């Protein structure tokens, strides 16, 4: 009786958790559940033969990852925020999920939800454990492709569910066909961004680099959407 390939096992675990996270998980449980899943994935990686270094979690390359991630995050985040100052581009940023939040909600998203609940979990999952397992067993090229494809697929369900609230949906049809196309297009773009995050991980040797860049993108996009709403509502 042959044992299950850990690369396939982790893909199945991520697919299952994707459904749980988007359809069953209460908002207040989002950060703690994702942190628990992060710890579980690291444990699985270690039991599958990975060292901390092979998952991008080694302390010897942490400083390189922090420096590269900060530099890239600042550049990309700054560009996203700059987009909110243009009336034309700001209309595309009018995401309902960024509207009507008080200071406490904003602080929670900027300090906890995006950097810890989303970016840390996804980077450890995809650029850390999944990449490490596939790289060990099937080589660098297969790991890059599998990680990018899985990262893109991870975003299909949430894009489909929340498409009506996104700025890109304003003025467009809310039919199932449009939502499916938006979800697939979003998955393709996210998959391409996954190659970029993997490049940061490889260049620095640490998952800290894509983590900080990812957190900066999510945070800047949220703040840009808030700024766009401020302009649209006549408060900016």
Nearest Cα neighbor of 214 from 114, 130, 131, 125 is: 114
What pLDDT is recorded for position 236? 46
Task: Give the tokens for residue 12.
Answer: 């199945």
Other C-beta atoms closer than 10 Å to the C-beta of 201 total 29
Q: Is the pLDDT of residue 52 over 90?
A: yes
Nearest Cα neighbor of 122 from 220, 25, 191 is: 191
Nearest Cα neighbor of 121 from 204, 23, 9, 13 is: 13
H or E element in which residue 137 lies: helix 131-138
Nearest Cα neighbor of 95 from 170, 175, 154, 152 is: 170
Query: Which carries the bigger pLDDT value, residue 168 or residue 130?
Result: 130
Q: How far apart are CA 226 and CA 95, in angstroms?
A: 8
Q: How far apart are CA 162 and CA 21, in angstroms?
A: 13
Q: Is the pLDDT of residue 85 over 70?
A: no
pLDDT tens digits, 168-222:
555 556 667 888 888 899 899 999 999 999 999 999 999 999 999 999 999 998 9
Q: What is the mean pLDDT of residues 133-161?
A: 94
What pLDDT is recorded for position 107? 96
Q: pLDDT tier at 79 (50, 70, 90 boundaries)?
A: confident
Q: How far apart are CA 215 and CA 112, in angstroms?
A: 10
Out of 18-22, 81-85, 108-112, 219-223, least confident range: 81-85
Nearest-Å Rg of the Cα atoms of the chain is 18
Mean predicted lDDT score pLDDT of the chain: 89
DSSP three-state, residue 102: coil
Q: How far apart are CA 22 and CA 107, in angstroms?
A: 22
Nearest Cα neighbor of 207 from 111, 112, 125 is: 125
Q: How far apart are CA 50 and CA 41, in angstroms?
A: 11
């Amino acid at each position: 009786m042959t044992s299950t390939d850990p690369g396939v096992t982790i893909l199945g675990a991520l697919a299952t958790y994707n459904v749980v996270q988007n359809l069953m998980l209460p908002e207040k449980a989002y950060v703690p559940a994702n942190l628990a899943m992060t710890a579980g994935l690291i444990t699985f990686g270690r039991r599958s033969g990975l060292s901390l270094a092979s998952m991008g979690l080694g302390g010897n390359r942490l400083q390189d990852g922090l420096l590269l991630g900060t530099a890239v995050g600042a550049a990309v985040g700054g560009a996203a925020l700059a987009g909110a100052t243009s009336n034309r581009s700001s209309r595309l940023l009018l995401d309902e999920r960024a509207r009507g939040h008080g200071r406490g909600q904003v602080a929670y998203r900027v300090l906890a939800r995006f950097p810890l609940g989303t970016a840390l979990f996804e980077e450890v999952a995809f650029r850390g454990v999944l990449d490490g397992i596939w790289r060990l067993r099937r080589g660098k090229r297969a790991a890059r492709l599998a990680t990018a494809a899985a990262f893109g697929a991870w975003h299909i369900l949430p894009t489909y569910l929340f498409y009506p609230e996104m700025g890109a949906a304003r003025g467009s049809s809310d039919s199932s066909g449009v939502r499916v196309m938006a979800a697939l297009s979003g998955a393709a773009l996210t998959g391409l961004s996954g190659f970029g995050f993997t490049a940061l991980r490889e260049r620095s040797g640490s998952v800290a680099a894509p983590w900080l860049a990812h957190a900066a993108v999510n945070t800047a996009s949220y703040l840009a959407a808030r700024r766009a709403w401020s302009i649209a509502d006549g408060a900016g």
